[in-house]
Chain A
Amino acid sequence: MIAEAGLAALWLAAAFALVQLMVAWGAAKHGANPRVGTLMTALRRIALVQGLLALLSFALLIALFVRSDMSVELVAANSHSLKPMIYKVAGAWGNHEGSMLLWVTVLAVAGGGVAMFERRLAAGTLAATLGAQAAIGIGFYAFLAFASNPFARLNPAVPDGQGLNPLLQDPGLAFHPPTLYLGYVGLSVAFSFAVGALLMRDVGPAFARAMRPWVLGAWIFLTIGITAGSYWAYYELGWGGWWFWDPVENASLMPWLAATALLHSVTVLATRDGLRAWTLMLALVAFAMSMLGTFLVRSGILVSVHAFAVDPTRGTFILALLGIYIGGALALFGARVGTVTQGSTFQLVSREGALVLNNLLLSVILGVVFIGTLYPLAAQAAGVQLSIGAPFFNKALVPVALALVVATAAGPLLRWRRDNWNALAKRALVPTAAAGVSFALLFALARGAHFASVVAIALSVGLAVASVAPVARRNLRRTPLHVWGMVIAHLGVAVSIAGMASDSAFKVERLAAIQVGQNTTVGPFRVTLAEIRPQIGPNWSALEAKLQVRRGEGKAFELYPQNRFFSTPPTNTNEAAITTLLDGQLYTVLGQGDEQGRWQVRLWWKPFVTLIWLGGGLIALGGLLALVGRVRRERRDSEAEAYA
């Protein structure tokens, strides 16, 4: 019964989306008519109901997983009655159908949110925006209904399910996809705003202010998703790296890069009424990257370490949606943006100028990642099999990323509209000195280290100093929250880059084959293989090593890396054991044993590697502060207007 109710709710939501599109059409067409108010009220309610129905449908799917209803195909294929409860719930979205339902649900709920809370946009533009949101929804409802029904029954029912990919049985990963999806779908709202503004030729500060919280929200979730995903890959996959340039990773990075650029250009549009066409373009590109990411992950046309169910029909369906929505929006852009009047102008040396530079550099990075990700596909079309890995991306991106660090440091030091080089040089004196001193120190102390890494660390120190400059000589309690947000986010970038550079410059790796009782060293650590013993868990068995570690004359501690083995479905995983110290992490992995009784042990000493994710957390926190600050200020402004 639950499955049928879920399917019914899904179809009803789809029907409401259709109605929403038609009502929005009417409201946008008769925007000048005074009676359009009734139509707008109806439109807002329809969007809200559509969101609630989708939410109900998704809640019912979770209920099926919680009850382990094996008469539902999706549950039987992705769950097991003996699984811990948290993974039963996560199983609802840890698969293709469920995650697409989650996608649609977030999309519909976000549309309902726009309908509920957006009060500042002109009626016509809001109607066009809700219409665009409904149009995207209809495509994905059709995808669910015709190509991936999550509620399909299994007849006869099976006694028990096949389980969930054990790599996914990890709290980090249970919440990784929903986080990314919230980001992807938040960008769909920005896309709908851009389409609405293009349709109604209404591109201005009001539109930018309406769109900004959605971009910020999406960007926060993408930041958290990427940071958490990187840390998950780092400790779960057991290869000691934190970024692989895998197509699926790039699929989440590309929308983030576009959203970061959009976030900065939308601020120019909101505060200075500049960069109109460029902001619209970025809003379209950001969502195009979300959809492309979904397509790459779902279609399996690129070889990735992340195994997903591969199905050409589904790939074709998403590709068709991509063609209709993105192609349609870009055609609209080509036809309409010429009529969008140019906004205010500004001089080259100004806050706007620095933001344009930031946008250009981010776009270059996005372009390189895009080309690197899709190049194997182009080569395949030409009959060549190849893959592009870290060497290409590192070589191409490190110089651009370092230039971006400089631009990020300079931006907040500049005034809006116009500034001069002398004033900038004066304000940049302290950060530049900080970077110079750290470069000299590092160059002298860490002789063997890679030059680019040393430069990166020095620049990140400069960026950190420059980042706090905007609050340095201000009354801290009167500093607006969104300024704090910017300061903390930029500081996060500095921290993250310092972590990446430190890891690549100073990490030490050791691969040893040792017998029980023998020892080896890595960096400042002495590691003894004390014991190999079996371990049995709820749905796995494992061989576990007991490693005794001592740093110099310090206190000894123990680590327990495992070679874990799951039965449903049969899979081996490496459970790395990691210890986090103030100045870095010791990362240990147990490999295979050989006939002579020796065991492979992989060890890494990674100085300051944790800064990478700490920085990611700071970036997200900065975004959150900016979001709260912006929303509060908007509300205060609109109240002030109401009383005026």
Chain B
Amino acid sequence: MKRLLLWAPLGLFIVVFGLVASGLVKPGDRAVRSAMVGKPLPALALPALLADKPGVVTAELKGKPRLLNVFASWCIPCIAEAPQLLKLKAAGVEIDAIAIRDTREAVQQFLAQHGDPYTKIGDDKASAAQLALGSSGVPETFVIDRAGRIAYQHIGDIREDDVAMLLRELEKAK
């Protein structure tokens, strides 16, 4: 009896080990997908931030596939993705933007320094539009299809190898 007791810890360990191993073999599905993809854009009317560009009224964003880019002048990866946005613009893509918690002067300076790919810029002082879009941060880019629905959500900055993929998504969204 006493001898058996001495082996009990090992027995218990084997049971727990088996349990943990089984948990490792069949992991649950943990992929995060935005709930917004496939839905129409929420109705927003953002005022213009710059004098020479209109603001963003989401109901008007349709007719042809386009990008909606969420950015800010204080956001460092936004600087990194600026050249890719210019490339997309050069490829004939219409890009609209929502500037998060930003000021007119800072955005003007940002565009002068890193290039201006935008047709419209909406002003989102308190991140309200960002929340409505289900966007978790800057930069973030939405592909809007011709019916005004969100076809694709790109989280984080657009890298060089993302450009071709975004062009394909835009093509699909026609």
Please report A residues at the B interface, Cβ cutoff 8 Å: 80, 82, 159-160, 281, 284-285, 288, 295, 299-302, 310, 312, 315-316, 319, 322-323, 326-327, 330-331, 333-334, 337-338, 374, 377-378, 380-381, 385, 534, 536, 539, 541, 543, 565-572, 592-593, 595
* 5 smallest beta-carbon distances between A and B, as pairs: A570-B137, A567-B75, A330-B10, A334-B7, A301-B23
A566 to B156, CA, bound (A): 12
Please report B residues at the A interface, Cβ cutoff 8 Å: 2-3, 6-7, 9-10, 13-14, 16-17, 19-24, 27-28, 30, 72, 74-78, 80, 100-101, 125-128, 131, 136-140, 155-156
Task: Tally the A-B contacts, defined by beta carbons under 8 Å.
Answer: 106
A76, chain B: closest CB distance, angstroms: 12
Given A333-B9, A592-B131, A543 contacting B126 (CB threshold 8 A): yes
Interface of chain B, helix or strand or loop or mixed? helix
Partner of B13, one of A80, A327, A374, A568: A327
Which residues on the A side are within 8 Å of B156 (C-beta)?
Answer: 569-570
B13 (CB) vs chain A CBs: closest residue: A330
B24 touches A338 (CB 8 A): no
A541 touches B72 (CB 8 A): yes
Which residues on the B side are within 8 Å of A316 (C-beta)?
Answer: 24
Given A374-B19, A593-B126, A310 contacting B30 (CB threshold 8 A): yes
20 A-B pairs whose Cβ atoms sit less than 8 Å apart in the complex:
A159-B80, A285-B9, A301-B24, A301-B27, A327-B14, A331-B10, A333-B9, A334-B6, A338-B3, A377-B23, A385-B28, A541-B101, A565-B127, A567-B72, A567-B74, A567-B137, A570-B136, A570-B138, A570-B156, A592-B131
A317, chain B: closest CB distance, angstroms: 11
Which residues on the B side are within 8 Å of A565 (C-beta)?
Answer: 101, 127, 137
B20 touches A338 (CB 8 A): no
Partner of B24, one of A159, A319, A543: A319
A373, chain B: closest CB distance, angstroms: 11
Which residues on the A side are within 8 Å of B72 (C-beta)?
Answer: 541, 567
B24 (CB) vs chain A CBs: closest residue: A315
B20 touches A572 (CB 8 A): no
B13 touches A326 (CB 8 A): yes
B9 touches A571 (CB 8 A): no
A33 to B76, CA, bound (A): 67
A281 touches B101 (CB 8 A): no
Sample of 4 further A-B pairs with CB below 8 A, known A567-B139, A593-B128: A323-B17, A570-B156, A571-B136, A595-B128
B23 touches A380 (CB 8 A): yes
A543 to B124, CA, bound (A): 13
Which residues on the A side are within 8 Å of B75 (C-beta)?
Answer: 567-568
Which residues on the A side are within 8 Å of B80 (C-beta)?
Answer: 159-160
